[in-house]
Amino acid sequence: MRLLLLPVLFVTSLVSAFAEDYPWMKPPDGYAWPDYAAKQPEKDTEIPLSEIPAVVRVYLVDQYLPQTPPATVYVRRADLNGDKVPEWFVDRPELGGTGGGVYDVLDVSGKAARSIGSLLGGFRLCVAAPKEKWLRIECSSRSGGGHFTRYLLQYIAGEFQTVRNEDHDTIHQKVTIRKIEKP
C-alpha cells in the first residue's frame, strides 16, 4: 500500500507544480518568453448574470442560445490595451475539459461586447511585443501523461492569435515546438 501511495503523491505534487510558477524546460531553439506584465488580473470573481454590464450580458445570453445562460459567471478583468477600459475574461465551463477551463476574452470598448479570443488553462499577462500596445497572454494547459502545453497569444488583426506553442513532455524531458499555421 505504501508503494502505491508514493507515486500518487509524486503525481499530485507534479501537477501542483505546474500551476502558475512552474519552472518550464528550456525550448531547444532558445526562445526567450516575454516578461510578465506588472499588473495581473485578480482571481476569478463570481458575479450574478443580472449584475453583469448589459453589453457583456447580451453577448453571453446570445452565446448560450437556445439554452438559458447560467445564473452566475466567473470573470477576471484587465486592461489589455491601455485604453482604461478593462477587457473581460469570462469563464466558459461548458467549453473546458481535462486540459483546463476556457476563458472567452471580450472587448467591451464599443456599444457591444465582442470576442477577441479564447484561451485554455491557466494564464498570465505578459508585456506587449515591441511597437505594440496590447499585452500578450501566456497560457498553459495539461494534456495528461506528463504532457503540458505552453503557448503565447498576441493581439493581431483584431483578435488574439497563437504566436508560440510548446509541448513539454516531462516524462522524456523534451520540449517540442509546434508549427503555427498563419491564417
Q: What is the pLDDT of residues 85-118, one digit of tens each?
A: 999 999 999 998 888 899 999 999 888 999 999 9
Nine cell digits for residue 40:
495581473
Map out the domains of the chain as residue ranges.
2-177
83 or 4, which is more confident: 83
Nine cell digits for residue 129:
511585443
- Bridge partners (DSSP) of residue 123 are 139
pTM of the model: 0.85
pLDDT band at 182; cut points 50, 70, 90 = confident
Q: What is the pLDDT of residues 116-138, one digit of tens each?
A: 999 999 999 999 999 999 999 99
- Bridge partners (DSSP) of residue 91 are 103
| Residues 89, 29: Cα–Cα separation, whole Å | 31
- Bridge partners (DSSP) of residue 87 are 78
First to last CA, the chain: 53
pLDDT band at 14; cut points 50, 70, 90 = very low
List Cα–Cα distances, 83 to 11, 109, 135, 170, 179, in angstroms: 43, 9, 12, 40, 33
Nine cell digits for residue 154:
498576441
Q: Find the mean pLDDT for residues 23-43.
A: 94
Residue 16 pLDDT > 50? no
